Amino acid sequence: MKKLLQYSILFMFLAFVVYQSVYIKKLNEVNTAKQTFDVQSFSRKFVANDIKLSVDSSLELMEWRRGMLQDPETTFSRYTHALNIGNIRYGMVHGEGRVVSITENEVTLRVKQDSASVTVYVQTEFVYGNAVKEATGTIKLTDFNSTTDLNNVSKEVNKIIRTELLPNFKSNVRVGQFVYFAGAIEENKEHVKVNEFELYPVQLIIRK
Amino acid sequence: MNMKKTLCRVTRFAFLLMLIGVPIACKQKTEQHKKMAIIISTLNNPWFVFLGENAAKRAQELGYETKIFDSQNNTALESDHFENAIASGYSAILFNSTDADGSVVNVRKAKEAGVPVFCMDREINSSDAATTQILSDSYSCCVNLGKYFVKQLNKKGKYVELLGLVGDNNTWSRSKGFHEVVDNYPGLKMVAQQSADFDRNKAMEVLESILQANNDVNAVFCGNDAMAMGAYQALVAAGKDKDVKVFGFDGAEDVIQSIAEKKIVATGMQFPRVMAYTAAELADQYLKGKRSFPAKMPVAVELVTQDNIQYYTAYGKK
């Protein structure tokens, strides 16, 4: 009887320890708990705040061009940004140009100032990649726990541009119109472009 | 009483030993301080040979002895190399892993032994084991490759994807980047997706087999250049090299040559010299006392096509 009581107490003690040590949770609850980064909310705020501020402080395209021709080193260091080590950098520019052609993938603008003329290919289909995210210069690697979260910001921001900015523009733009544009461009320090620019748009206004 | 006297004598003798022994050990450690081990996943691939040799070259320029270890894509052999490096007194390890998960324990062993590890090119799935990880931004370049791929195929066609080693994070970064773009185009159909382990011969065999069931493929996206060359060989053998577009990733010599000859369409140019040099220089900074390093340092990868090939050479730029 005494032994039975002792074993019972021991069993109850062990059962109590095991109960306190082991937790059973549904897998989807654990996965949901891990996903703490809300990429959609972050990207919306980024578009509303960071991109807007970046456009407000951006260089006019022809001024950018002058900087790249006369003093590329200073222009790169002051007006471009990149998270990666290497020669590829991104900057935000704005300007106005006349529509010279429209294809399913881009709208081509001719931008003139005095005797200088450049071509801007406003991307209307293939808005992918890091240009818009990194051109603002506000994103830091240390802001994110994982590379996946960082890449998802690019993905989400680009999706907002493709689905919310571009459809209205594409359906209303015509050859001959003047368009105000603001957007990100990619430059390579080893071979700088000064006459043709591929623009990832963040703002497009068709002038009446 | 005798016990007490004996104890005093033993204590004095031990103290004397310490006084003599510690400076000798420190001097030995200082002399051993000047070695870096370079542990590479496989020397069967010229890209990794280039990575390892450049890491060694830069470390030697900084005043270190070096030795390159070949893990032969085998995590167990890699583990032996780590134990060897730790036991032989290497001061730092410049490391290219065989497996993103399997290699973590090796890196932790080195860390616990006080040997800093600097990962090159291949990521390990731990944010605090390695001192830092210098990695190509494969994902972003493959987004660019994906865009170029869609443009080249005019948004329609059938394609094959050859994946790399399934245990390598690069395999999935490249594939995800590519699919981020390509999957938005329903006219593009992936008829097969199979791993060829980043190996040229395996890629050739895998594609030969796929072509038997899918002889109307328009393009092949390969997770590295070795597989792109293997895929191209398979297409030549099948008489389809002029009809099927091949895309690779790395910037290896044979693919750069092939792009210049208008055979392979495009690749992603990595900069292994930048990664190797950065790893050696950071290791040197660590050994001179610096302790704060970012967990990851991404290196840009550039899209190389038949239109801009004149600016590039194998593993870098002209």
How are beta strands B157-163 and B188-195 bridged, if at all? parallel
What does the pLDDT read at residue B15? 67
Q: Which two tokens stand for residue B306?
A: 């038949």
* Residue (of B240, B201, B242, B244) closest to B221 by Cα position: B244
What does the pLDDT read at residue A17? 76
Cβ-defined contact of B140 to A191 (cutoff 8 Å):
no
Residue B32 to residues A59, A79, B61, B131, B226, Cα–Cα distance (Å): 54, 46, 17, 20, 38
Helix (H), strand (E) at residue A188: strand A178-188
Mutate to test the interface with A, among B122, B137, B303, B315 (most CBs of A within 10 A): B137
State the Cα angle at B270 between B173 and A145, rounded to 5°.
Answer: 40
Q: How confident is the model at residue B247 (pLDDT cuts 50, 70, 90)?
A: very high
Cβ-proximal residues to A105 (8 Å cutoff; 6+ apart), any chain: A123, A124, A125, A126, B151
Chain A nearest C-alpha distance from B256 (Å): 18
Q: What is the mean pLDDT of residues B89-95?
A: 97
Mutate to test the interface with B, among A140, A147, A163 (most CBs of B within 10 A): A147
Q: Is B292 exposed, middle or buried (0-12, 13-18, 19+ CB in 10 A)?
A: exposed
Place of tokens 């370049």: B141
pTM: 0.83
Asked if A141 is an interface residue toward chain B (Cβ–Cβ < 8 A), one would say yes
Q: What is the mean pLDDT of residues B280-309?
A: 95
Q: Which two tokens stand for residue B83?
A: 């134990």
Mutate to test the interface with B, among A81, A87, A88, A139 (most CBs of B within 10 A): A88
The DSSP code sequence of B247-309 is: E--B--HHHHHHHHTTSS-EEEE--HHHHHHHHHHHHHHHHTT-----SEEEE--EEEETTTG
Q: What is the mean pLDDT of chain B?
A: 92
Q: Which of A91-100, B16-25, B141-150, B166-175 bottoms out in mean pLDDT, i.e. has the lowest?
A: B16-25
User: What is the C-alpha separation between A38 and A17, in angstroms, rounded?
Assistant: 37
User: What is the C-alpha separation between B204 and B232, in angstroms, rounded?
Assistant: 8
The total of other beta-carbon atoms located within 10 Å of residue A148's CB is 14
Name the more confident of A202 and A23: A202
Cβ-defined contact of A128 to B146 (cutoff 8 Å):
yes
User: What is the C-alpha separation between B255 and B242, in angstroms, rounded?
Assistant: 16
Q: What is the mean pLDDT of residues A63-89?
A: 95
Cβ-defined contact of A190 to B139 (cutoff 8 Å):
no
Asked if A13 is an interface residue toward chain B (Cβ–Cβ < 8 A), one would say no
Residues A134-177: pLDDT tens digits?
Answer: 999 999 988 887 888 999 999 999 999 999 999 999 999 999 99
Helix (H), strand (E) at residue B210: helix B200-213
The answer to whether the CB of B122 falls within 8 A of the CB of B96 is: yes
Place of tokens 């399913």: A104
What does the pLDDT read at residue B240? 97
What does the pLDDT read at residue A87? 93
A188 chain-B contacts, CB cut-off 8 A:
302
A103 chain-B contacts, CB cut-off 8 A:
none
Place of tokens 């930048």: B274
Cβ-defined contact of A129 to B151 (cutoff 8 Å):
no
The answer to whether the CB of B93 falls within 8 A of the CB of B82 is: yes
DSSP category for residue A165: I
Q: What is the mean pLDDT of residues A13-38?
A: 66
Q: How confident is the model at residue B103 (pLDDT cuts 50, 70, 90)?
A: very high
Q: Inter-axis angle of helices B138-152 and B169-182, to 10 degrees?
A: 40
The answer to whether the CB of B63 falls within 8 A of the CB of B31 is: no
The total of other beta-carbon atoms located within 10 Å of residue A147's CB is 18
* Residue (of B280, B226, B271, B282) closest to B44 by Cα position: B226
Cβ-proximal residues to A54 (8 Å cutoff; 6+ apart), any chain: A92, A135, A136, A137, A138
Place of tokens 């030549």: B236
Helix (H), strand (E) at residue A158: helix A147-160
Q: What is the mean pLDDT of residues B214-230?
A: 97
- Left (φ > 0), alpha (ψ -120 to 50) or beta: where does B109 sit? alpha
Residues B120-138: pLDDT tens digits?
Answer: 999 999 989 999 999 999 9
Which residue of chain B has the CA closest to A87? B300
Q: What is the mean pLDDT of residues B254-263?
A: 96
- Beta-bridge partner residues of A188: A88, A191
Q: What is the mean pLDDT of residues A86-97?
A: 97
Of A85, A130, A188, Cβ closest to residue B274: A85
Residues B159-194: pLDDT tens digits?
Answer: 999 999 998 889 999 999 999 999 999 999 999 999
Q: How many CA atoms lie within 13 A of B138 on its CB side?
A: 24
The answer to whether the CB of B245 falls within 8 A of the CB of B265 is: yes
User: What is the C-alpha separation between B93 and B112, in angstroms, rounded?
Assistant: 13
Q: What is the mean pLDDT of chain A?
A: 91
The answer to whether the CB of B120 falls within 8 A of the CB of B134 is: yes
| 3-state secondary structure at position A170 | helix
The DSSP code sequence of A42-59 is: HHHHIIIIIIHHHHHTPE
Which residue of chain A has the CA closest to B301? A86
ipTM reported for the complex, 2 dp: 0.83
Chain B nearest C-alpha distance from A162 (Å): 12
Q: Which of A45-54, A166-175, B28-37, B67-76 bottoms out in mean pLDDT, i.e. has the lowest?
A: B28-37
Residues B20-30: pLDDT tens digits?
Answer: 655 555 544 44
User: What is the C-alpha separation between B136 and A142, in angstroms, rounded?
Assistant: 17
Percent of chain B clearing pLDDT 90 (strictly above): 84
What does the pLDDT read at residue A33? 45
